[in-house]
Amino acid sequence: MKLKPTLFFITGISGSGKTTVARKLLEVGEVAFDSKIQDGLFRFSDNAGNLPEDYKPTNREWRDKYKWTLNKTMFDKLVEENKEAKRVFLCGGADDLMQYWPAGKKVFLLKVDADTMISRLNRQDRDNNFGKGERMQDLLVDRLERFQSRQLKAGAVSINALNPADEVVKDILTQAT
């Protein structure tokens, strides 16, 4: 009999704490996947799956052509490698992630406000540069409410990501049944 872990999604806008939560989940013995832990799990690609030759996320034409997407082949391989786990958490905010939600049991939205998001994006110890520039931050602030509202309307469970990471993880684990 092939075992299959229960899948949970953890989503949020840049700076909401997805990677921090993934790392905390790993610390407590859970299986969690995130683009900064599994390099290549999410990536920019066009509709045909082609990767960009350049990186210009503040350029409107570039953003219209390339979206942040789940590397489904890599994800499936990671799940297979962890098939004996009780549950698996996929942490990400990909543009195409909602199409995969039916495969999971529950989706958690790490909900933040604009000030918290900007503060986190500007932290010196942040593990990537996405969202550090003023122009990208303006785009993210403009997108924040639409993104969060869309996720909630689609059935995501709101998690107060303003709380300390340990509390956020505790809240998620309590509801990940």
pLDDT of 125: 79
pLDDT at residue 1 tops 80 = no
Spatial separation of the C-alpha atoms in residues 48 and 113, rounded to whole Å: 34
121-125, 136-140, 149-153, range with greatest mean pLDDT: 149-153
Judge contact between 123 and 137, C-beta under 8 A: no
Q: In which band, very low, low, confident or very high, does the pLDDT at 130 lie, cut at 50, 70 and 90?
A: confident
Please report the domains of the chain, with CATH numbers, ordered by start residue. 6-175 (3.40.50.300)
pLDDT of 2: 52
The tens digit of pLDDT for each residue in 71-125 reads 999 999 999 999 999 999 999 988 899 999 999 999 999 999 999 999 998 888 7
The tens digit of pLDDT for each residue in 11-56 reads 999 899 999 999 999 999 999 999 889 999 999 999 999 999 988 8
